[in-house]
Amino acid sequence: MKWIGCLFQEFSFFKFIQVYTEKESLTGQSDLPQGTVVFENCLVVPGMNALYNLNGKILSESLIYRGTPPIGLPSANYEQVVDVALNEEWPVVEESIFLPYINFEHFGHSLTETAAWLYPITDASKSLLFDERKNIRFIIPAIHSSQKKHLAAYLNISSNRIISTEQFSNITRLSKVLIPRPSMINRFGMHLNHLSAVRYFINTWYGLEKTMTMPRTGHEKVYLSRARLGNNLRKIENETKLELQLSKRGWKVVHPETLPVTEQIRFLYHARVVGGNAGSAFHLLMYFGIKKPAKLAIALGNEEDFNNISPVYNLIFHIKAQHIALRYICCLKNASEKIHPLQNDRSVHQRFMFPASRIAQKMDSLAEQFLQNNPV
């Protein structure tokens, strides 16, 4: 095979960031509003996934936003305006909290979104909100009704205090409702607080705060493989060929989905270089916040995603916040694509554009150069 110049497009983080900021203005890390916001006299409409004002108009703060510019999930059951007639006989909930997004079962989204929505209420207002004597209700969209038991366990409250909008039989007025402002909006922006949000979420959900210990030594070069994921999920065809080549060069190949979160964290703790398919495989790095010594992330992707940038926004956001160096290698092409409407995600099978040995050689060259230039 003939190798023509620029088969691999490599960009330092600063070059990468320059490319996408020239295309469009993104929300900076300090620009996302934080904390919570309180609304009075809002309506729950049975089965809807957002709240409404007394005129039947959607309350924008109760929507899930994603993308640049941010838009609501197309799969969600939203109506911009619903027909309501002011009725003094409406049932009333005096105090409540509305959580626009909750998903504990999708690991990537639990770190980028669930943690983002929960942190403002669990971090700042726990004593007020979780006092059983006050019996404040937690309301979640119908689309997330299956998450009730997980949310109750996470918050350590009775599941009776959590109500899905599909459980309401009538339009109900919320006298006072608190809505958190997420520390991260998927593919749009991330506040620096989100690193704390992820650590808090992982420690709480997996019970790690008092039990987590780090090994004294570990592997410097770690590759996060998706090879053992199901065929209905995003993966690289024949990724095992790359695993073999990297193993020969001293890399530790890790299949995150086969390991407890504690073991995944331990592998990443000592890793100076972390490689893998661009995406959620890197999100667990957020657990470490801004940590020394310096790390390098080597993300494998395709030219389409590089030029579009949006699919790798989330990776860029936390890599930037954590001062992690980034190299992006365009070495993949899409083989097939499937849309998952509930997650608004693309499940793409990708193929290597070049021999696995050549890709491994390039990754290892970048890794060794980084380690040489950044000694511990």
SS (H, E, C) 86-148: CCCCCCEEEEEEECCCCCCCCHHHHHHHHHHHHHHHHHHCHHHHCCCCCCCEEEECHHHHHHH
Of 322, 282, 320, nearest to 301 by C-alpha is: 282
| Per-residue tokens: 267 | 């592998």
Compute the distance between CA of residue 87 and CA of residue 153 in angstroms, rounded to an integer: 36
283, pLDDT greater than 60: yes
The pLDDT tens digits for 162-205 are 999 999 999 999 999 999 999 999 888 899 899 999 999 999 99
| Per-residue tokens: 264 | 């995944």
What residue ranges define each of the domains in the chain, with the CATH number in brackets? 13-28+215-373 (3.40.50), 36-205 (no CATH)
Q: Is residue 26 very low, low, confident or very high in pLDDT (cuts 50, 70, 90)?
A: very low
DSSP states along 142-180: GGGGGGHHHHHHHHTS-GGGEEEGGG-SS-EEEEEEEEE
20, pLDDT greater than 70: no
340, pLDDT greater than 50: no
Please give the residue that has the higher pLDDT: either 187 or 23: 187
136, pLDDT greater than 90: no
Compute the distance between CA of residue 94 and CA of residue 174 in angstroms, rounded to an integer: 6
Average pLDDT over residues 253-281: 93
| Per-residue tokens: 269 | 């703790």
Q: Is residue 27 very low, low, confident or very high in pLDDT (cuts 50, 70, 90)?
A: very low
10, pLDDT greater than 60: no
Please give the residue that has the higher pLDDT: either 336 or 145: 145
Q: State residue 311's pLDDT score.
A: 64
75, pLDDT greater than 60: no
12, pLDDT greater than 70: no
Average pLDDT over residues 286-305: 86
216, pLDDT greater than 70: yes
Q: Is residue 281 very low, low, confident or very high in pLDDT (cuts 50, 70, 90)?
A: confident
What are residue 286's phi and psi, to 5 degrees?
-60, -25
Of 117, 164, 158, nearest to 143 by C-alpha is: 164
Q: Is residue 74 very low, low, confident or very high in pLDDT (cuts 50, 70, 90)?
A: very low
Q: List the beta bridge partners of residue 327.
A: 298
Of the ranges 64-68, 70-74, 219-223, 270-274, which one carries the lowest mean pLDDT score?
70-74
Task: Report which listed range, 49-53, 55-59, 74-78, 113-117, is most confident.
Answer: 113-117
Average pLDDT over residues 344-361: 81
Average pLDDT over residues 300-324: 79
Compute the distance between CA of residue 271 and CA of residue 294 in angstroms, rounded to an integer: 10
22, pLDDT greater than 50: no
Compute the distance between CA of residue 24 and CA of residue 69 in angstroms, rounded to an integer: 10
Coil, helix or strand at residue 290: coil
Percent of the chain with pLDDT over 90: 51
83, pLDDT greater than 80: no
Q: Is residue 130 very low, low, confident or very high in pLDDT (cuts 50, 70, 90)?
A: low
Of the ranges 114-118, 252-256, 319-323, which one carries the lowest mean pLDDT score?
319-323
Q: State residue 16's pLDDT score.
A: 40
Q: Is residue 315 very low, low, confident or very high in pLDDT (cuts 50, 70, 90)?
A: confident
